[in-house]
Each structure stands twice: as C-alpha cells, then as structure tokens.
Amino acid sequence: MDDTDTKILNLLRENSRMKNTDIARRVNLTERAVRARIEKLVRESVIRKFTIVTSPVGVEGIVLIGTQVGRTSAVKAKGREVSDSVFECSGEFDVAVRLRADTLDELNAKVDDLRSYPGVIRTSTLVKLVES
C-alpha cells in the first residue's frame, strides 16, 4: 500500500459512493487505475466491506466483555457477526462491541447472545441515552 492507496481510502471514507472518475481526478490517475487499486485493496482485505452510516434509529449500546485467557480472538469474531465495530480494549474488559437495534428487547437479545458465547466471563452494557 502506498500514498496513493491511502488517499483513495481517505476519499472513500469521506464518501463511499464517490465515483472512480472523481477519485481518479483527485489522485491524478486514470479511472481504470483507480478501479484496479480498489479491487486490489478489496482482495487484500484492506477494504473489508462497503457500507453506509445512518442516523441512529432505535437503540444503541456498547457491550464491554471480559474473556477467558486465549478466547479473546474467538469472542471478537463472534462480535463481528453482530457488529461492524468490534475492538480489543485495555482495562477491566478485553473486548468492546457496539450494537444497534430497533428496540431495547432486540438489543437485549443481541447482548444475551454475546453473553452465552464460550469464553465470555462477564459483560457490562452501556446504552446510549442522548446524542450530543
């Protein structure tokens, strides 16, 4: 990955629907070269998926998860099944998973699913009340 790839990624992060011709103009390449670079980034899993970000609807929360030694990677993989925002963290918990749901009951079901996964020792769920 070089500086041009980084510029392309930054442009796609700003607007994942930006046309390849517009990207090409901004990074001084042909549309075909941009398309080939994006395809390569997808093949190499640098770009894992194209998605949209919506205004929050329903309920959002963060589940902090404590894991058994050696199970953190498996718990993160389970988290990725229900969320696109999963990361290891420092402190009292090992993994954080951001969840979105239409209702509190749906959010609770997702939390229960994570809690029941082998290797999960404890959880703490933070539900967003107000967005500022």
State CA 16 to chain mean position distance: 14
What CATH number matches the domain at 3-43, 1.10.10, 3.30.70, 3.40.50, 1.10.3470?
A: 1.10.10
Report the pLDDT value the prediction gives residue 58, as an integer from 0 to 100: 82
* Residue limits of CATH 1.10.10 in the chain: 3-43
Phi, psi dihedrals of residue 89, rounded to the nearest 5°: -140, 165
Q: What angle do CA 43, 76, 71 make, to 5 degrees?
A: 125
User: Taking the alpha carbons of 118, 119, 122, 123 in that order, is the dihedral positive or negative?
Assistant: negative
**What DSSP character marks residue 92?**
S
pLDDT tens digits, one per residue of 11-48: 998 888 899 999 999 999 999 999 999 999 999 989 98
Neighbours of 111 (CB within 10 A): 20
CATH topology of domain 59-127: Alpha-Beta Plaits (3.30.70)
Among 3, 8, 2, 11, smallest CA distance to 38 is for: 8
Provide the whole-model pTM: 0.61
**Region for residue 70 given its phi and psi (left: phi exceeds 0; alpha: psi -120 to 50; beta: otherwise):** left
Question: Tens of pLDDT along the chain (132 residues)?
Answer: 899 999 999 899 888 889 999 999 999 999 999 999 999 999 998 998 887 666 556 899 999 999 999 999 999 999 999 888 999 999 999 999 999 888 899 999 999 999 999 999 999 999 998 877
Every domain of the chain with CATH number 3.30.70.920 lies at 59-127
pLDDT at 62: 96
Nearest Cα neighbor of 65 from 101, 96, 106 is 96
